[in-house]
A = this chain, B = another copy of it.
Amino acid sequence: MTQKFKGIIPPMLTPLLSNWKIDNDGVKKLVDHMIDGGVHGIFILGTTGESTSLSYQTRRALIEQTAKHVNNRIPLLVGITDTSLEESLNLTSLAFDVGAAAVVAAPPYYFHLGQEELSEYYWDLAERSKLPIFLYNFPAMTKISMTVETAVRLSEHPNIIGLKDSSADIEYFHALKEALNRENFALFAGPEEILAETVMMGASGGVNGGANLFPKLYVKMYEAAKATDFETIKILQKQILEIASLLYTVGKYNSSYMKGIKGTASLLGLCKNYMAPPLKPFLQKEMIEISNRLERIQSNLKNMPL
């Protein structure tokens, strides 16, 4: 069953209008762009999708419109991360109704939880969810790192089918990989810089923000890693690192990635450059910088074996 959860599953940007409502045209363009690029699934309402900044009405609209446009061409995963279990379950119901393949849940991120509390929370969620669940470890945001022991215990619930790790802690990822080494459990790493190495070491794929922009590049990297085609990996890795070092580093604060990826998507015509508060889109000065850097990347991409 979980075989369908593999490969490149981009955490989709949320195309917004100036009033923070869903830009339906943007959704269509972005979905088609990624499917044309060969991605293996789409994950909406993750961190990259500004999920927590959106009202529930907006989240519901995005779920409905994306599902309609994906139209079962590839699996759709829906982020239900919330501080309220009730609201997470409400979103899960809707995801089920529109035919999503799975939901993805990071820990509730307001209170500081202990491992047992975290474990009970996920178990309750799994008991009540109509869809299979991906765990989502992102300690920088949620203030808790799911231990390997907790992940192993949770993986025993039939409704918990995978884990996405965005900790960027590679020791942890290897420990998870060793402990959760089973056919039917999918393991994904977030940071795109380690897509190749984690897939070579046995990960199911990557949930890479950059695949909103350049889906073919990440899909090709996934295939090269599966084939341990080292010549191709080296060439593509250089390119993937360049994207991170150029497009995700403009501006200050921790929001450079979020603002950079949306700004770039707008330059590529995939969506408009609006963001929901508390994050604000780059203004002209930063957008000129992004534009110059994007030009350089696009020029290099022409020489890639995509």
Which residues from chain A sit less than 8 Å from chain B, CB to CB?
Answer: 20, 47, 52-56, 58, 83-87, 90, 107-114, 116-118, 120-121, 124, 140-141, 143, 168-172, 174-175, 177-179, 191, 193-194, 197, 200-201, 228, 230, 237-238, 241-242, 244-245, 252-255, 258, 276-280
* Protomer copies: 4
Contact: B87 with A55, CB < 8 Å? yes
CA A170 – CA B110 in complex, angstroms?
23
Chain B residues with CB under 8 Å of A201's CB are 197, 237
Besides A53-B111, A169-B170, 14 new A-B residue pairs in contact (Cβ under 8 A), listed by A number: A52-B108, A53-B84, A83-B278, A111-B254, A111-B258, A114-B252, A114-B255, A117-B278, A120-B278, A143-B143, A168-B172, A171-B194, A174-B193, A175-B245
Question: How close is A154's CB to chain B, nearest CB, in angstroms?
Answer: 14
Contact: A87 with B278, CB < 8 Å? no
Of the A-B pairs whose beta carbons lie under 8 Å apart in the complex, a sample of 12, sorted by A's number, is: A52-B110, A53-B111, A55-B87, A112-B141, A114-B254, A117-B279, A118-B278, A121-B278, A170-B170, A178-B238, A178-B241, A200-B230
Question: How close is A240's CB to chain B, nearest CB, in angstroms?
Answer: 9
Chain B residues with CB under 8 Å of A56's CB are 56, 87
